[in-house]
Amino acid sequence: MADDPIREAFDLLERERPLPSSGFADALFDRLVEQRRAPAVPGPRSWPVLSPSVRKALVAVAALAIAIAALIPLLPLARNEARPGRLGPGDIVWAHRFSGRGGNVHSATVAASSSGPSIGFPSGPNLYGIQWELYQYGSDGRRRWTLTSVLRSPTIPIASDDEGNVYYVTMHPDAPMLKKYSPAGAELRAELLPFGGYAYGMAVDRGNVYLVGDTFGHPPGSDPVGFHGPFVAAVDPDGAVLWVRPVADTTVEAETPLAVAEPPLTVAVDTRGIYVLGEAASSAGWRLTAFDLDGKVRWSQVLDIAGSVAVDRATVYIAGSRRATVEVTAFSTSGARLWSQRWDEDRGAHVTGIAAGAGGVFIAGTTGVGDAQGSGFVRAFDADGADAWTTSLGSLRVLSIAFFDDALYVGGTVRETDGPVRHVDGFLAKLVAGIVPADSSS
């Protein structure tokens, strides 16, 4: 109703809008739900006994309060413009909280480019498959366009190129499809890939798309790519497949496929090569394999703890977790181990993403795994492995991270709240990505 300020505020919160912090959003949401569930107070305090003039005055005051609340989310942006430099490394510039059209947000993948950040996520089952959504934002935090599809895949890899185009590939064993969208959201290309299997990760460099996946779903001997197991593939800007190569766990005795347990294969690319990370089947560890741009193996390294890979300025970064232990390792693009940092989290930790840029590397994840009070975090290291800063994101569970133009974009889900109906929202946030060592006196 128009004269119900609680209803108006609740509707305002349900619509996607910038939020200055997750704590503000959670507190407002819980307060509104509590007030809406409270029984109406009878007697002289009820609306019907008030005169029309008093009612109009109260509604005007409530409307003013709602208008002020709507402006509060813009304060971080206004503060940043009015007093440049007040936001430091790791600070939140803006954050959006949103609900998927298909229901709950189940996972999220973030990409970033000159056109801004993109976040893709499945939001629930659909009569014909899984409802999948892609939101494209500008760097100022305003949503530019939305794509909604019905797919059969619970996870969809997405990526962006230097021109701001957005790519995603469906995961289907018979015929994966690669799609490309312009910065304005127009579909530019949709190509059925001439090989079966699931695509787990994707990276784009100079228009070429590099995919990692597995021929799962095809029995040995019937694989369209000519082999069975994990693969890395290159697709040119016109959608033609340049080459497909197996990704094997190379040992002295034999070559065996990499395992495809969660998380499966991840990939990063630069002008020097392609870097593929996957769990090794021959040992309780991980293997990083470097390919040249023609698909030939250059070198490989074995790691104890890993999960995600990123590359920047001739350095390849690996990060992962095992129960309470988190580790980040740096290699040169020629395969030399440069440094490694390992630390323990008392309540456990799960690393969900890595991004590199601005002269350092950024690790994202959640501490307190399995705990209702688990907290999202982003931790930064400089190029020499020195601890730069750590930001706690409270109830925001970080699932993906991307870097572009001295900014970090993190996405994931907002912690569920107890109640008769459990609902999971998604979020996308922009952070300042500067690297300032923690022991710096500046």
Contacts of 52 (CB under 8 A, 6+ apart): none
SS3 440: coil
Question: What local confidence, expressed as pLDDT, does residue 130 receive?
Answer: 82
Select the CATH number that applies to the domain covering 89-432 from these four: 1.20.140.70, 3.40.190.10, 2.130.10.10, 1.10.540.10: 2.130.10.10
How many C-beta neighbours within 10 Å does residue 398 have?
Answer: 26
- Rounded Cα distance between 388 and 381, Å, is 5
Residue ranges of the domains in the chain? 5-71, 89-432
**Scanning the structure block, which residue is given the tokens 């994840």?**
365
Token duo for residue 179:
């799609």
- Rounded Cα distance between 24 and 152, Å, is 36
Long-range contacts of 388-392 (CB under 8 A, 24+ apart): 388/89, 388/360, 388/435, 388/436, 388/437, 388/438, 389/89, 389/90, 389/436, 389/438, 390/90, 391/90, 391/91, 391/92, 391/431
Question: What local confidence, expressed as pLDDT, does residue 424 receive?
Answer: 86
Q: What are phi and psi of 388, to 5 degrees?
A: -100, -55
How many C-beta neighbours within 10 Å does residue 224 have?
Answer: 15
Question: What local confidence, expressed as pLDDT, does residue 129 receive?
Answer: 75
- Rounded Cα distance between 120 and 105, Å, is 10
Check: CB of residue 397 under 8 Å from CB of residue 417: no
Mean pLDDT by 10 residues, the chain (442 residues): 40 41 44 43 41 62 58 37 63 92 86 95 78 93 92 80 92 78 94 81 94 72 69 91 85 65 81 93 83 95 94 96 94 97 90 95 88 82 95 92 96 74 86 73 42
Q: What are phi and psi of 57, to 5 degrees?
A: -65, -45
Q: What are phi and psi of 438, to 5 degrees?
A: -60, -30
Contacts of 127 (CB under 8 A, 6+ apart): none
Residue type, 108: A
Rounded to the nearest 5 percent, the helix, strand and coil shares of the chain are 15, 45, 40
How many C-beta neighbours within 10 Å does residue 87 have?
Answer: 17
Check: CB of residue 376 under 8 Å from CB of residue 426: no
Strands (E), 215-284: 230-235, 241-246, 248-250, 255-257, 266-270, 273-280
Question: What local confidence, expressed as pLDDT, does residue 415 receive?
Answer: 72
Work out the end-to-end distance of the chain between its first and last CA atoms, rounded to an integer number of angstroms: 54
What element of type H or E holds 366?
Answer: strand 360-367
Check: CB of residue 143 under 8 Å from CB of residue 16: yes
The dihedral through the CA atoms of 250, 159, 90, 84 has a sign that is positive
